[in-house]
Structure 1
C-alpha cells in the first residue's frame, strides 16, 4: 500500500508579503509561492488519493478556523483556505485565486501552526500517516511564543514534522544573512527557531536555498515490484530426485524511465485539438477551458465497382488475418490462429553455465533483474547462497530460461553471482540475452591493418595511424579523463559526472513544463534548469587544460577544414581538391553533353555540376526522364522498377539542391499520366504506388524547397490514384 501523507501549508498573506526585498523584482509572496506551487503541483502530478494536503492562510483579512469559531483567543486573521484532502487541478485553480496579499499583519504564526495541527489530527485520527506542516512567512508580523513548549509537545505526540521556510531568514550553513533586519523580524526568527528546536523533527531554512534546490530533479520513489515468485530449478524435480529447486523472488534492479505521456483532447469551447496531460472525469478543466476526451474511430473500405464511388465500407468483424507469403497472402482463420502462438508455462530453470571469459557485455538486451530467496524460507536462503558462492568460486555465469507467467514470451537470462563480499548482499543479477534472430553480424575492415586484394597484410599505410598519431591520441584521451576531474567539499578529486547526478533532461524538462502550465497556463515556460544541461558539453576548464594535447593531435592527424557545400541557381559550388589540381583535366574528360543508360546517375550528376545555364539542366532532365521511361517500358514485370526509382530519386535530389523543383514536378506529373494510362507497356501502377509514392518520390513541395509553389495538399492529391491525371 502506498504511504499516506497529510501535509498542511501555512502561507503568510500579510501586508508586508507584497513588498520586494534584497534586490528582487518579485514580492516576498511570489518568491515564497515558487516553492509552494512546486510542491503542490508535484502532489497533483503524482495523482495519489493517499497524498492529501490542506492550506491555511496567515494574516488574512477575514478569520475562518475552528478555534476562532469556539471563541478561543489568539486565532484572529487565520483562515482555512482548503481543507485536507486529495489535490486536483480544479482545487489548484481555486486555491490560486485566494493566494493574494491582504491588508493586515496581526495574525500569529504559532497559532496558525496549532490550527494546522488540529486539521491533521482531525483528518488522520490514529491512522498511519506521514504528517507534515510547512510554514512560509517573512516573519514581519507579531508572534506570541508563550506556549511554544506546549505546541511542540502536541506536535511530537502526533508525530508531525514542522518545516519553517522563511523569506530572507538567516542561515549560517547556507551562507545567507539579511542586512538591516528589523528588530521584530529578528525576534520572530528566534521564536520560530525555538519552536522548531523543541520539535523532534523540526527544520528551519531560508527561502533562497529552498528556491535554488527546486531545479534539482526529484527522482520518483519506487517500491519493489515482484516480477516472479516461484522455484528456480536445475533439472526437472518431477522426474529426478537429484534436481535442484529453490524458491526465489525476482525484482527489477533497473527499469527504463520514460517521459509522461500525453493524450489527445478537444477544447470544448474553441473546438481545437491540443495535447495535455490526462485528467480525471471530474477534473477536466485547465486554464478556465473545458476539455473532453477524444475517441478514435476507424473505418475499413474495399473496392466495389457496384458501390457509390467504387468503395464499400466493411465492419471490423468481417476482417480476417492474412500473412504475406512471397507475392501472395495466406489466410489463417480465427479458429486456426492458435497454431501460431507458442504455448508457454510459468517457469524459471537453469539450462547451463558459461565461464566469465566467454561472455561479452555488449550482448545485454535489456533491463537488469535481481533474484533473492523467498522471505522467511531458511532452506531457500541456504540453497541460493550455496549456488551464488559456487558460481563465484568457479568464475561462471548461469544461463536460465525464464517465463514470468503462463502464455508469456520466453526469455533467456544470464545470471551473475553477487556473493556479498563488498556490499554484504547476496543475490543473482540477471540480464536478457539475445536469440539468433536478434543478432546483427556486420563485417567491417580491421582498423589496425590493411588487407590487399592478393591477401597481403600491410601494417604501414596512409590509412593507418602512425606512431606519432597514436601517441597524440593517447595523450589527448588521458588529458580528457573525467574520472577525477571534479573536486568534493574537501578539495579531493572525484568523478566529474557520477550516475546519481546525471539526470535525463527530456523527462525533467517535460515535467517542468507541465508543472508550469498547471500552475499558470498564461505565463511563459522558463528555460531548462542548468543542472539538466550540466553534462551536455565538456567542461570548459578541461578543454582549456587539454589545449596543448588537442593542438598536437590536430597536427598529427593533419586535420583540415572541409569546405562548405554550396548551392547555386544553376551550378553547385563543387569542392576543390586541397591540392588545387583539376581532376577532370588530368583524366582527360571534357564537359559531358549526353547521358548513357548504362551509367546514367554519375553522368547526370556530372552534367549538373558543370551546368552554367538553364538549357543544359533542362536537357539533362529530359535525357534522364527518357531513360526512366524506357526502363519502365522494357521492364519484365517489376524487374527494372528499382533501377528506375533510383534514377528518379537522384533527379529529385539534384533538382532540389539546384532549386529547380519545377522541372521535376512537371516530369513527375507527365510520368504519372503515362503510368496510369498504360503508355509504358501496360499496367504499371505498381511502379507508381510501391516505388514512387512508397519511396517518398512525390512532388517537391514548398517544405522541401523554398522556391517550389506546390503545397503538401497538392502533392497528396497528385499522389492519390483517384486524382485526375493532369
Structure 2
C-alpha cells in the first residue's frame, strides 16, 4: 500500500514579506516561496492521491478558518487557501494567484499552527498517515507565547512533525547570523525554536540553507519489487532424486532511472470543459482545462483503381507484416510469427559454474537483482545458505537460465555469492549475461608495434609512442589522480566523486525544468544547479597543480594547433595558401590548369576548382567533368566503366555543394537522366542510372543539402525517389 502523507504549509503573507533584505533582489515572500513551490510541485509530479497538501495563509487581509467561525478568539487574519486533499496542476495554478503579500500583520503564527493541526486531525482521523506542518515566515509579526507548550504537546500526541523555516533566521549549525535584527523578530525566533525543541519530531532552520538544498536532487524512494517467486533448481527434480531445488524470491537490486516522458497535448479552446478537438476518453482526460490530450489515429490505404481517388482504406486486421528479401517483400502472418517464438515456462535453473578469475566483468548486461530464500521457509533458508557458502569457498559463480514467467524470453544470469560474513546478510546477487549473438568481436592492430605487409615487426615508428611520451603520459595520469584529491573534515583524503553524490544531469535537470514551468509557465527556466555540473569538468585546483605535467605532455606529443579549415564562399573557394606565403606553381614555372583529362579527371578537377578565380572557370570545369562522365558511360562495354563514371560524378557533386553552386550539378544530372534512360548513350544504360546513380545516392542536390539550391525535397524525390528517406 502506498505511503499516506498529510502536509499543511503555513505561508506568511504579511506586509513585511514584500520587502527585500540582506542584499537580495527578491522579496522575502518570493525567496521563501521558492522552497514551498518546489515541495508542492514535487508532490504534484508524483501524482499520488495519498499525498495530500493543504495551505494556510498567515497575515491575510481576510479571515477564513474553522476556529474563527466557531467564535474562538485569536484566529484573525488566518485563511485556509487550500483544504487538505490531492494536489493537481489546476489547484497549483489557483493557489499561485492566492499567494500575494497583503497589507496586514495582525495574525499569530502559533494560532496558524493550531488551524493546520485541526485540519490534519479532521482529515486523517486515526488512520496511518505521515503528518507534517511546515511554517514559512520572516518572524516580523508578534507571537503570543502562552499556548506554545500546549500546542507542542498536542502535536506530539497526534504524531505531527513541525518544520519551521524562517527567512534570515539565525542558525549556528549552518553558520548564518543576521545583523541588526529587530527585537520582535529576535523574540519570535526564540519562541519558535523553543516550541520546535519541545516537539518530539521537529526541525528549525533558516531559509538560506533550505533554498540551497533545493539544488540537491531528491532520489525517488523505490519499494522492493518481487520479480520471481519459485524454485531455484540444479538438475531436474522431476527426474532425479539428487537434483537440488530451493524455493527463492528474486527482487530488483538496481533499476535504471529514466527522464519523464512527454505527452502530446492541444490547447483547449473551450475553457469550460472538453476541447473542441478530438480528445482522450474521460478516464484518460488530462488535468485542467488549459490542455487536452490528443488521441492518435492511423489509417491504411492500398492502390485500387476502382475505388474513388484510386485508393481504398483497409483495416489493420487485414494487414500482414512483410520483410524485404532482396527486392521483393515476403509476407509474414501471425501464425508464421508464432513459429519463431520460443515456447518457455517459468523456471530458474543453474546450468553450470565458472571460477572467479575466469569471468570478465565487462560483459555484464542490464540491472542487478538479489535472490533470497522464501520468507518463513527454514528449509529454503538452509539450502540457499549452503549453496552460497559452497560457491564462496570454491570461489565460483553460478550461471543460471532464468524465465520470469510463461512465454517470456529466457535470460542468462550470473549468480554471485554473498555470505553473511561482512554485512550479516546472505543472498545471491545476479546480473544478466550476453548470449553469443550479443557479443561483437572486433580486431584492432596492436598498440605497441607495427606490422608491415611482409610480416616484419617495427618497434619504432611515427605511430608508436616514444619513451619520452610514455613517461610524460605516466606523469600526467599520476598528477590528475582523483582518488585522494578530496579531503574530509579531518583533512584525510577521501573519494572525490562518491557514487551517492553523482547524479544524472539529464534526469534531474529535466525534473527541475518541469517543476519550474509548472509553477510559473511564463518565467524563464533558470540555469542548471551547480551540483549537476560539478563532475562535468576537472577541478581547477588540480589543473593548476598539474600544469607542468600537462605542458611536458604537450611538448612530448608535439601537439600543434590545426589551422582553421578554409570556408567556401558563393561561387568559388578560397585558394589554399602555403604557410610560407610562396606561390609554388609560379616558382616551378607551372601555369594554372584549365583542362581536364579523362585519365586523371578527379585530381585535375579539384585542382582547377581550388585555383578558380571566377565563376566562368568553375562552369568550365563542371562542363568538362560532365562530358567525361557521359563519355565513360557511352564507351563502357556493359558496366565496365560505370563505377568510374559514378566516382567522377560523386566528386563533382561534393565539390559543387561546397562551392555553393548546386545548380550546375542539377542541370547536368537532369540531362544525364534523360540520356541514360532514352538510349542516347549507345544503348540501354538504365543500370547506370538505377544502380550507380540512384543506388549511390547521387541524385539532385536539394535544399536540405544546400541552402542555395532551387530544388525542393519533393522535386529531388521525383527525379530519384530512392535517394531520400
Fold similarity call, TM over 0.5: yes
Distance 1:425 1:98, change over 3 A: same
C-alpha RMSD of the superposition? 3.4
The residue aligned with 1:408 is 408
Per-residue deviation, 1:89: 0.5
Residues 665 and 700 in structure 2, CA contact (< 8 A), matched pair in contact too: no
The residue aligned with 1:618 is 619
The residue aligned with 2:560 is 560
The residue aligned with 1:475 is 475
* Mapping of residues 293-692 of structure 1, within 5 Å: 293-307=293-307, 310-569=310-569, 570-571=572-573, 574=576, 591=593, 593-594=595-596, 596=598, 604-625=605-626, 648-671=649-672, 684=686, 692=694
The residue aligned with 1:67 is 67
State the Cα deviation string for residues 189-236 of structure 1 (Å, max 9, x = none). 011011100000111100011111111111111111222221111111
Per-residue deviation, 1:347: 1.0
Partner of 2:295, secondary structure, is: coil
Relative to structure 2, which stretch is displaced further, 658-667 or 518-527?
A: 658-667
The residue aligned with 1:257 is 257
Residues 60 and 77 in structure 1, CA contact (< 8 A), matched pair in contact too: yes
Relative to structure 2, which stretch is displaced further, 185-194 or 658-667?
A: 658-667
Distance 1:255 1:635, change over 3 A: farther
Residues 88 and 283 in structure 1, CA contact (< 8 A), matched pair in contact too: no
State the Cα deviation string for residues 503-554 of structure 1 (Å, max 9, x = none). 1111111111111111111111111111111111111111111110011111
Per-residue deviation, 1:301: 3.0
Distance 1:354 1:697, change over 3 A: farther
Please state if 1:48 is matched with 2:48: yes
Residues 74 and 111 in structure 1, CA contact (< 8 A), matched pair in contact too: yes
Per-residue deviation, 1:625: 4.2
For 2:64 and 2:557, the matched residues in 1 are separated by 77
Per-residue deviation, 1:576: 5.2
Distance 1:509 1:335, change over 3 A: same
Distance 1:185 1:394, change over 3 A: same
Distance 1:243 1:281, change over 3 A: closer
For 1:18 and 1:442, the matched residues in 2 are separated by 66
Structure 2 spans left out of the alignment, 5+ residues:
none
Partner of 2:256, secondary structure, is: coil
Residues 596 and 625 in structure 2, CA contact (< 8 A), matched pair in contact too: no
Residues 648 and 697 in structure 1, CA contact (< 8 A), matched pair in contact too: no
Residues 8 and 53 in structure 1, CA contact (< 8 A), matched pair in contact too: yes
The residue aligned with 1:719 is 717
State the Cα deviation string for residues 127-163 of structure 1 (Å, max 9, x = none). 1111000000011111111112211111111110000
TM-score (norm 2): 0.90
Partner of 1:140, secondary structure, is: coil
* Mapping of residues 210-225 of structure 1, within 5 Å: 210-225=210-225
Partner of 2:180, secondary structure, is: coil
State the Cα deviation string for residues 666-692 of structure 1 (Å, max 9, x = none). 344445556777777669599669974
TM-score (norm 1): 0.90
Residues 38 and 214 in structure 1, CA contact (< 8 A), matched pair in contact too: yes
Equivalenced residues, count = 711
Relative to structure 2, which stretch is displaced further, 420-429 or 116-125?
A: 420-429
For 1:595 and 1:365, the matched residues in 2 are separated by 57
State the Cα deviation string for residues 627-650 of structure 1 (Å, max 9, x = none). 666788899999998877665554
For 1:544 and 1:258, the matched residues in 2 are separated by 37
Partner of 1:324, secondary structure, is: strand
The residue aligned with 2:140 is 140
For 2:445 and 2:211, the matched residues in 1 are separated by 55
Relative to structure 2, which stretch is displaced further, 140-149 or 631-640?
A: 631-640
Relative to structure 2, which stretch is displaced further, 8-17 or 493-502?
A: 493-502
Please state if 1:57 is matched with 2:57: yes
Partner of 1:263, secondary structure, is: coil
Per-residue deviation, 1:656: 2.4
Residues 347 and 405 in structure 1, CA contact (< 8 A), matched pair in contact too: yes
Distance 1:362 1:106, change over 3 A: same
Residues 56 and 116 in structure 2, CA contact (< 8 A), matched pair in contact too: yes
For 1:207 and 1:645, the matched residues in 2 are separated by 71
For 2:282 and 2:487, the matched residues in 1 are separated by 45
The residue aligned with 2:701 is 699
Residues 595 and 620 in structure 1, CA contact (< 8 A), matched pair in contact too: no
Distance 1:654 1:387, change over 3 A: farther
For 1:111 and 1:460, the matched residues in 2 are separated by 85
For 1:302 and 1:719, the matched residues in 2 are separated by 21
Distance 1:629 1:438, change over 3 A: farther
Structure 1 spans left out of the alignment, 5+ residues:
none
The residue aligned with 1:122 is 122
For 2:214 and 2:285, the matched residues in 1 are separated by 30
Partner of 2:214, secondary structure, is: helix
The residue aligned with 1:155 is 155
State the Cα deviation string for residues 610-669 of structure 1 (Å, max 9, x = none). 444434433443454456667888999999988776655544433222222322333444
* Mapping of residues 273-288 of structure 1, within 5 Å: 283-285=286-288
State the Cα deviation string for residues 436-465 of structure 1 (Å, max 9, x = none). 222222111000111122222222222211
For 2:597 and 2:230, the matched residues in 1 are separated by 71
State the Cα deviation string for residues 269-311 of structure 1 (Å, max 9, x = none). 39999xxxx99856544xxx72222222223233344555554
Per-residue deviation, 1:268: 2.8
Distance 1:213 1:671, change over 3 A: farther
For 2:65 and 2:604, the matched residues in 1 are separated by 88
Residues 473 and 553 in structure 1, CA contact (< 8 A), matched pair in contact too: yes
Per-residue deviation, 1:33: 0.5
Residues 676 and 685 in structure 1, CA contact (< 8 A), matched pair in contact too: no
For 1:186 and 1:89, the matched residues in 2 are separated by 38
The residue aligned with 1:103 is 103
Please state if 1:7 is matched with 2:7: yes
Please state if 1:194 is matched with 2:194: yes
Relative to structure 2, which stretch is displaced further, 176-185 or 623-632?
A: 623-632
For 1:550 and 1:583, the matched residues in 2 are separated by 41
For 2:8 and 2:103, the matched residues in 1 are separated by 23
Distance 1:589 1:560, change over 3 A: farther
Relative to structure 2, which stretch is displaced further, 448-457 or 638-647?
A: 638-647
Please state if 1:29 is matched with 2:23: no
State the Cα deviation string for residues 325-379 of structure 1 (Å, max 9, x = none). 3333332333443212211111111111112222222222222222222222222
For 1:478 and 1:62, the matched residues in 2 are separated by 68
Partner of 2:238, secondary structure, is: coil
